[in-house]
Amino acid sequence: MKITLKPLTWSLLFIGFCFTANAQSRTIADSLRIGVSLEAASGTGIFGTGVNTASGGTATPATAYQYGTGISMRFDYPINHSFYVTANAGYSIFFPTADGQSGQQVILNTTIPGFQTIPLKLGVKWFTGNRFYFQGEVGETLLANKAQLYGLYSTAFTWSPQVGLLFPLKKRHTYIDGGVRFESFASFYNDGAVNDFWAIHIAYMFNL
């Protein structure tokens, strides 16, 4: 099969141009990205505060809270095309379980309040391509209703790894950001426990 020099030359030039254009576009940092996120979470183990439930005449530990929901503001500041510094501020509430409503630590005929937290985190986000990313955050979680829950501390150290996808929308510089994370923060009760949960989020984001 005969391969002429001219088409081969143009093909190589086109490939080179695309590679150069892609390399140039990847070195230009994006602008500040801001988003509003809705979240759903599920606690693991003894989350929030533990309760004791009667089982065959003995008391067994159970979790007072498990499922929760929340909202957060997200800020992504670009360092380069794939690396961002992030900030996150939110509000979450975890709802009492059936055990939490009837455990031995619950005052008779009194409903325990939701477990309300305000996470404040900083982190980094690394895109492996145009959409998929890894993210890690650390910070503090504030107990919003400390008095109602008789917390000993107001804040707890927090860390959270996550993965996600960024989907560009038709409108320029707007996106849908979806992700899954594991999050852990220390107990507010000086008992050495930790509060772990899995969460998913979906956010609307835009560039300034």
Q: pLDDT by residue (tens digit) across 135-193?
A: 999 999 999 999 888 889 999 999 999 999 999 999 989 999 999 999 999 999 888 88
pLDDT at 38 over 80: yes
How would residue 17 be classed by pLDDT, with cut points 50, 70 and 90? very low
Domain count across the chain: 1
Q: Is residue 148 part of a domain?
A: yes
Residues contacting 173, CB < 8 A, separation 6+: 31, 206, 207
Q: How many CB atoms lie within 10 A of CB 90?
A: 18
Range of the domain at 138: 29-207
Q: Is residue 81 part of a domain?
A: yes
Q: Is residue 16 part of a domain?
A: no
Q: How far is CA 97 from CA 64, 134, 152, in A?
A: 5, 32, 22
Q: What is the share, in percent, of the chain residues with pLDDT greater than 70?
A: 80
* Alpha helices (H) along the chain: 5-27, 98-102, 146-149
Which domain CATH number covers 106?
2.40.160.20
Residue 55 confidence (pLDDT): 65
Segment 124-132 mean pLDDT: 92
Total-model pTM:
0.80
Structure confidence by residue, pLDDT tens digits, 98-111: 888 777 666 666 77
Contact between 43 and 185 under an 8 Å Cβ cutoff? The reply is: no
Residue 110 confidence (pLDDT): 72
What does the CA dihedral 3, 9, 15, 20 come to, rounded to 10 degrees?
A: 160
